[in-house]
Amino acid sequence: MDIGIFSGSFNPVHIGHLALANYLCEYEGLDEVWFMVTPHNPLKEEASLMSDEFRLKLVQLAIGGYPKFRASDFEFHLPRPSYTVHTLDKLKQTYPQDTFHLIIGSDNWKLFFRWYQSERILAENFILIYPRPGYEVDGNTLPQNVKLASSPTFEISSTFIRQAMEEGRDMRYFLHPAVYEALRQTNL
């Protein structure tokens, strides 16, 4: 199968994540998208993360019923900090029958050279870039194993949702209903 690896803190997962992953399955040739909940992104502050298990639970709630999505705790069992190159190596070792496509935003593509062992990731893997507002990528200049998706753009962020909820705002339409309810019950 062709599997998209959508890594992120998903702090929390929101409708932008879900709509993008849905588009990538339906229009960009992916058989599945695995929401790879990352325990710690080396480029982000760990203190601002909800617990690993709670973020995984929120993804599970959000994707229930759609057979092309999978919530994954794969990186929970790898050494920390979590580096994409190690995750991809281990995925290929564990699932040699599948082809993995790393899904990243065009904002991350602009910073890709800063990633740990970015040259090796690029040389040994397929990458699928989705557009982010303000981060244009020229698809004609990309390496052969890198593809630019023509997906819609979403200007929703987990940070915005967390801040709004902390201010007491009702963000139910930015989240899957089950995710909104779980967050509301935890008084986030």
Domain chopping of the chain, boundaries: 2-155
In 10 A of CB 76, how many CB atoms? 15
Q: What is the pTM of this model?
A: 0.92
- What stretches of 15-113 show up as alpha helix (H) in DSSP? 15-27, 52-63, 84-94, 106-110
Q: What DSSP letter does each residue of 110-152 carry, written as one string?
A: HTGGGSTTHHHHHHHSEEEEE-BTTB---GGGS-TTEEE--PP
Q: What pLDDT, on the 0 to 100 scale, is given for residue 40?
A: 64
Positions of the chain with pLDDT under 50: none
| Amino acid sitting at position 92 | K
Q: What pLDDT, on the 0 to 100 scale, is given for residue 97?
A: 98
- Closest C-alpha to 174, from 163, 185, 149: 163
Q: What pLDDT, on the 0 to 100 scale, is given for residue 114?
A: 95
| Domain 2-155 sits in CATH 3.40.50.620 | yes
Q: What pLDDT, on the 0 to 100 scale, is given for residue 125?
A: 97
Q: What pLDDT, on the 0 to 100 scale, is given for residue 41?
A: 57
Q: What pLDDT, on the 0 to 100 scale, is given for residue 10?
A: 95
